[in-house]
Amino acid sequence: MIRLHNAALANSEFEDLNLSGSRFE
């Protein structure tokens, strides 16, 4: 379950970056 939790956190961070103009495009 820890992996799923970490994935959710990473996804939230990615979405925040995406709103600001993601560098991971």
**For residue 2, what pLDDT is reported?**
72
Residue 9's pLDDT is 80
pLDDT of residue 15: 77
Contact 9, 1 (CB under 8 A): no
**Angle at the Cα of 11 from the Cα atoms of 7 and 15, rounded to 5 degrees:** 175
- Contacts of 24 by beta carbon, 8 Å cutoff, 6+ apart: 14, 17
- For 1-25, how does the pLDDT look when each residue is reduced to its tens digit (9 = 90+)? 677 777 878 878 777 766 666 555 5
